[in-house]
Amino acid sequence: MRTWHGMKMAIVGATFSVCAAGVFIRPAAPRRNAEPRPAELYEVVLRELQAVRGADYVGAYRQVSLSMQERYNLDLFADMIRSERPELARFERVEFGGVKVKGRQASVPAYLFLPGDDIAVVTYLLVREEGVWRIDGLHVQRRWSRGYRVGGTRL
């Protein structure tokens, strides 16, 4: 009977110890990444565009996300840009719209001014991987003709 009483006291003591430890030991607050500066995201897009304009497909490939690199090898990536996105290589200047960031993902609208004063509107989707922002996709939304006025940040 004494051993049973001792075991109950040990269980109650252990439970009390765990509860007391829980008061003093708290999980660390989740670490939040600082909101990226828009210029940081613009720089990723500009490196991509300049590489494409110079036909440096290896340099452009370095700017894309790991998931995009899994979908396209370098040759397929270069063929896709040459055949499906030829306007990316012909831009004369670029202006950016407002950046939207949600956690590890960002959206950057870019206005590519093409020869003949046409404007291609491209939305770049970026993802933060291994501490670096990379392009995870892009959508050419529309093309505006000569004389259309847009707002944004000029670089």
What is the spatial distance between Cα 37 and Cα 13, in angstroms, rounded to a whole number? 53
Handedness of CA 114, 80, 65, 142 (dihedral sign): positive
**pLDDT (0 to 100) of residue 143:** 73
Name the residue type at position 107. Answer: S
**pLDDT (0 to 100) of residue 8:** 78
Torsion of CA 87, 93, 98, 100, to 10 degrees: 50
**pLDDT (0 to 100) of residue 86:** 82
**pLDDT (0 to 100) of residue 88:** 81
Residue 28 in any domain: the answer is: no
**pLDDT (0 to 100) of residue 152:** 60
**pLDDT (0 to 100) of residue 29:** 57
**pLDDT (0 to 100) of residue 21:** 74
Residue 5 in any domain: the answer is: no
CATH number of the CATH domain containing 80? 3.10.450.100
**pLDDT (0 to 100) of residue 61:** 94
What is the spatial distance between Cα 64 and Cα 45, in angstroms, rounded to a whole number? 10
Which residues, given as ranges, of the chain have pLDDT below 50?
none
**pLDDT (0 to 100) of residue 124:** 96
149: which 2 tokens? 């006025």
**pLDDT (0 to 100) of residue 123:** 95
Residue 125: partners with Cβ closer than 8 Å, 6 or more residues away: 105, 106, 107, 135, 136, 137, 138, 139
State how many domains the chain has: 1
Domain coverage including residue 89:
34-148
**pLDDT (0 to 100) of residue 117:** 81
**pLDDT (0 to 100) of residue 30:** 57
Residue 127 in any domain: the answer is: yes
Torsion of CA 60, 61, 63, 67, to 10 degrees: 150
3-state secondary structure of 8: helix
Residue 4 in any domain: the answer is: no
